[in-house]
Amino acid sequence: MIDLLHKLRKKSASIKDGGKYYKATIVSPERVDIDEKGLAKEIGATAFRKVSDLKVNRKKLEEALASGELSAEVVGKHLHTKDARPYIRFTEGVLDDADEPAAAGD
């Protein structure tokens, strides 16, 4: 289905069936990886120990960024976004009187 939607240059497809609709959407998640070696080298051992256990502790890193202890510019150089494998999310809902998907909570 992902190949078909890519071929049609669409991120989603939906069908109506009586009073319901069904929708399939391509979800392409991303995750951020930290270049721990590069970060450690740039911020120094003392600062690195404050934001890591055996590896970088994301919560501690976020706290150090929020407090201004570490520069977002420096840390940002060591964050890399990686694409995760796309998958299909199926949703189902009820159509309103105008044959459109009803608003959330309806």
The total number of structural domains that make up the chain: 2
pLDDT, tens digit, 9 for 90 and up, residues 15-63: 888 888 888 888 888 888 999 999 999 999 999 989 988 789 999 999 9
The verdict on 14 and 40 lying in the same domain is no
Q: Is residue 99 part of a domain?
A: no
What is the reported pLDDT for 103? 62
Considering the domain architecture, whether residues 19 and 42 belong to the same structural domain is answered as: no
Mean pLDDT of 72-90: 89
- For 53-77, the pLDDT digits (tens) are 878 999 999 999 999 999 999 999 9
Give me the phi and psi of 84, to 5 degrees please: -95, 170
For residue 72, the model assigns a pLDDT of 94
Determine, yes or no, domain membership for 104.
Answer: no
- The reply to whether 73 and 90 lie within a common domain is no
Domain around 17:
1-30+84-94
For residues 102 and 66, what is the distance between their CA atoms, to the nearest angstrom? 40
The answer as to whether 101 is a domain residue is no
- What percent of the residues of the chain are helix, what percent strand, and what percent coil, each to the nearest 5? 35, 35, 35
pTM, 2 dp: 0.39
